Amino acid sequence: MVEQNREGKPRQLLRRALVPMLVAGGCAVVGSQWVQSRQQARLVRRDDALLDGQPHDMTLSWPYAQSSTLYNVALRQDFFVQYRLNVQLREGVANGRDAIADLQAGRAMAAVAPVLSWLQAWQASPDLPVRLVMGLQAGTFRLLVRRRLRIAKIEDLVGRRIAVLNADMADRLFFSIILRRKGLNPDTAPNWVILPPDEIDDALAAGTVDAVALHDPLAWRLLRNPVLDVVELVNSVNGLYAGRTNLALGLSADVLRDMPGAAVALVLALYNAAHWLPAHMTEAASLLDGRVDGMQQDAILQMMRHEVLGISPVGNDLKTQIARYVDELKLLGQFPDSLNSASYARRISADILHPAQPRP
């Protein structure tokens, strides 16, 4: 029996009708504003020619995908089904480095990781047989400080103890860039403390750390915990970084060469899911009820309202954002100043939705 909505119309049919309407309109919600993109408007005119119409199995490595808003929307709102995809998740993927390792080892056909983690992977393996094909969502990095310390600006973090989950995670990299922009040495100005997620609450409560650099949902739970009494010093959901992607989807060179229809289907499914999300936050929160660190629907919805949704750059938009990240990693000495960031971004990415047309 087909599930009915309040107006008595089949939900499945409404979902199928919604996707082309969103893409054809070329509109995406960013915060409370509508942004028109010529690139988005072009998608609906190209996808029929690029899709092969065949079902495809796709093994995907995505850290904590089961609690990801975007993944749950794509899966449970039938965006994968619409594009005839059977997506199988790799289990036990704890971070972006694990996802990239799965792709390198052939355990996955596609992987999701922070752009900063992808760039570090290319630094370690310049011939990494992967191309970034789309951004998935804006970052939710939050630097939280204990209120009683009265830390008012980034410069006040000198000598302070900042907890992070891992020294190489995008959380630390992101705030290292912020510190460097303020003229501080991110390796020596603060004292980075590596802690597992289940010890951070106690460390804050006991005062053994002064601040934490994390991302949602853990950062949001800490911020909303009145016992911990922390405040947000800086984040990536406002200002310069609000419209920039954090996560990126990478596809193996084998998939791009041998299964281009599957690659396009995966990108379109996630792209359309991302642009469905901002206008349907309540429904999306219901999909995640109890799946995000035990958070219930109301808490998830409140968190989503303090995030930037619908960020999913492809093509030139993605390349531009990657180049900006490369420029920022130059500040940390991870790329040489002489590197052409735009050329590098073009080399490690692929615009599979708008491939170059052969000249007549």
Question: Which one-letter amino acid corresponds to residue 240?
Answer: L
Domains 56-138+244-348 and 141-235 equal at CATH topology level: yes
- Once rounded to an integer, what is the mean pLDDT over residues 10-34? 33
CATH topology of domain 141-235: D-Maltodextrin-Binding Protein; domain 2 (3.40.190)
pLDDT, tens digit, for every residue of 41-100?
Answer: 344 434 556 888 899 999 999 998 988 999 999 999 999 999 999 999 999 998 999 999
Is the per-residue pLDDT at 23 higher than 70? no
In percent, how much of the chain has pLDDT > 90? 78
pLDDT, tens digit, for every residue of 221-247?
Answer: 999 999 999 999 999 999 889 999 999
Closest CA relative to residue 108, chosen from 58, 158, 74, 149: 58
pLDDT, tens digit, for every residue of 320-342?
Answer: 999 999 999 999 999 999 999 99
CB atoms near residue 315 (< 10 Å): 18
Q: Which has more confidence, 3 or 63?
A: 63
Right CATH number for 56-138+244-348 from 3.30.420.10, 3.40.190.10, 1.10.390.10, 3.40.50.720?
3.40.190.10
Structure tokens at 177: 């860039």
- Once rounded to an integer, what is the mean pLDDT over residues 22-45? 35
CB atoms near residue 192 (< 10 Å): 18
Q: Which has more confidence, 257 or 38?
A: 257
The pLDDT value recorded for residue 48 is 58
Helix axis angle, 38-50 to 315-331, nearest 10°: 120
Residue ranges covered by each domain of the chain:
56-138+244-348, 141-235
Is the per-residue pLDDT at 142 higher than 60? yes
The pLDDT value recorded for residue 50 is 81
Whether the CB-CB separation of 248 and 111 falls below 8 Å is answered with: no
CA separation for the pair 131, 290 (Å, rounded): 34
Helix axis angle, 315-331 to 341-348, nearest 10°: 130
Lowest mean pLDDT among 40-54, 120-134, 261-275: 40-54
Closest CA relative to residue 73, chosen from 257, 81, 213, 58: 81
CA separation for the pair 251, 261 (Å, rounded): 12
Split at pLDDT 50, 70, 90, the class of 136 is very high
CA separation for the pair 4, 162 (Å, rounded): 50
Question: Taken in order 30, 34, 38, 44, is the CA torsion positive or negative?
Answer: positive
Residues in the chain: 360
CA-to-CA separations, 227 to 79, 202, 206, 216, 230, in angstroms, rounded:
40, 10, 11, 18, 9
Is the per-residue pLDDT at 140 higher than 50? yes
Task: For 104-140, give one letter per residue: b (16+ CB within 10 A) or e.
Answer: beeebbbbbbbbbbbbbbbeeeeebebbbbbbbbbbb
- Once rounded to an integer, what is the mean pLDDT over residues 253-266? 96
pLDDT, tens digit, for every residue of 165-177?
Answer: 988 789 999 999 9
Is the per-residue pLDDT at 28 higher than 80? no
DSSP state of 342: H
- Beta carbons within 8 Å of 149's beta carbon, 6+ residues apart: 160, 210
